[in-house]
């Protein structure tokens, strides 16, 4: 599976160098020279990691990182010319996963990217077959395709289960409709613009206590959907 990395820096030469090294390692690279565009790219593409400059012309790297972490657990590496301890600690407090000061070695940066992605993948592999949400209110078995609500088995179509599985394997990540369609496209004979909305409505009717105020599948207006359950493996 290809890995997409978003590089954000207002210096084109730095973006060019980082992109070249990452592409040489087989990563797909998207780039932006400002924070506003970076958030647009992040929300409309399946991004696996963000390399983010702290000093951006329109929207600071701190603000961009904060906005990303509000809707996703996506790993973020901050780049900055600031070396003061308080600035570094502030970056970590915002949720950045690593902090690299300029000037830096592109090879070291790539090594850190690999390390963070490896940790992220290991965490995802640790997800066990059966996962319980909200103290047993909802139980999902990934291996057997079984779903229980209040200990009562419920039936989900294959497409519905694939969507639900995608959510729970990527907690807090916001998915666009197109990203979710990609997960079920082989199961659908015809694809319509609102196919995902229909599936979401059906899933909610089966797993939510109140479909008007959903607990598990949350709508992020203008973007898509994310999962909201608290898991206990």
**What phi and psi values does residue 126 have, to the nearest 5 degrees?**
-75, -10
Q: How confident is the model at residue 74 (pLDDT cuts 50, 70, 90)?
A: confident
Q: Considering only 39-48, 56-65, 124-133, 216-225, which range has the smallest mean pLDDT? A: 124-133
Q: Considering only 32-41, 71-80, 182-191, which range has the smallest mean pLDDT? A: 182-191
Query: What is the radius of gyration, based on Cα positions, of the chain?
Result: 19
Summarize pLDDT for 183-210 with one digit per residue, the tens.
Answer: 776 544 455 557 888 899 999 999 999 9
User: pLDDT value at position 89?
Assistant: 67
Query: CA 186, CA 199: separation in Å to the nearest integer?
Result: 15
The secondary structure of residue 88, as a DSSP letter, is H
Query: CA 156, CA 93: separation in Å to the nearest integer?
Result: 40
Domain boundaries in the chain? 4-125, 130-232
Enter the CATH code of domain 130-232: 1.10.10.10
For range 95-123, the mean pLDDT:
84
Beta-bridge partner residues of 217: 227
Q: Considering only 27-41, 48-62, 116-130, 166-180, which range has the smallest mean pLDDT? A: 116-130
User: pLDDT value at position 93?
Assistant: 65
Given this chain, do its domains 4-125 and 130-232 carry the same CATH topology? no
Quickly list DSSP for 149-215.
Answer: ETTEEE---HHHHHHHHHHHHSTT--B-HHHHHHHHGGG-SS--TTHHHHHHHHHHHHH-S-TTS-S
User: pLDDT value at position 188?
Assistant: 45
Q: Say which CATH architecture domain 4-125 belongs to.
A: 3-Layer(aba) Sandwich (3.40)
For range 153-159, the mean pLDDT:
90
Average confidence score pLDDT of the chain:
84
Summarize pLDDT for 113-141 with one digit per residue, the tens.
Answer: 999 888 776 555 555 577 888 878 899 98
User: pLDDT value at position 133?
Assistant: 87
**More confident: 21 or 122:** 21
pTM (predicted TM-score): 0.55
| Residue owning tokens 């909305």 | 197
User: pLDDT value at position 231?
Assistant: 60
């Amino acid at each position: 599976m290809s890995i997409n990395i978003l590089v954000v820096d207002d210096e084109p030469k730095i973006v060019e160098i980082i992109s070249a090294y990452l592409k040489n390692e087989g990563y797909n690279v998207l780039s932006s020279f400002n924070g506003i565009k970076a958030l647009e790219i992040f929300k409309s593409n399946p991004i696996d990691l963000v390399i983010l400059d702290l000093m951006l012309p329109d929207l600071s790297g701190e603000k961009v990182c904060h906005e990303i972490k509000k809707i996703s657990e996506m790993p973020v590496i901050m780049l900055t010319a600031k070396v003061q301890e308080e600035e570094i600690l502030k970056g970590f407090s915002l949720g950045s996963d690593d902090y690299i000061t300029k000037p830096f070695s592109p090879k070291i940066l790539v090594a850190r990217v690999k390390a963070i992605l490896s940790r992220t993948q290991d965490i995802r592999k640790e997800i066990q077959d059966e996962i319980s949400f909200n103290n047993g209110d909802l139980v999902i078995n990934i291996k057997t395709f079984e779903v229980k609500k209040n200990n009562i088995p419920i039936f989900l179509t294959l497409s519905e289960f694939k969507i639900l599985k995608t959510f729970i394997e990527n907690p807090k990540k916001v998915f666009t409709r197109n990203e979710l369609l990609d997960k079920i496209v082989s199961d659908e004979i015809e694809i319509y613009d609102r196919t995902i909305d229909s599936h979401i409505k059906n899933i909610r009717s089966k797993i939510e206590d109140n479909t008007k105020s959903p607990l598990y599948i949350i709508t992020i207006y203008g973007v898509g959907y994310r999962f909201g359950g608290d898991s206990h493996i």
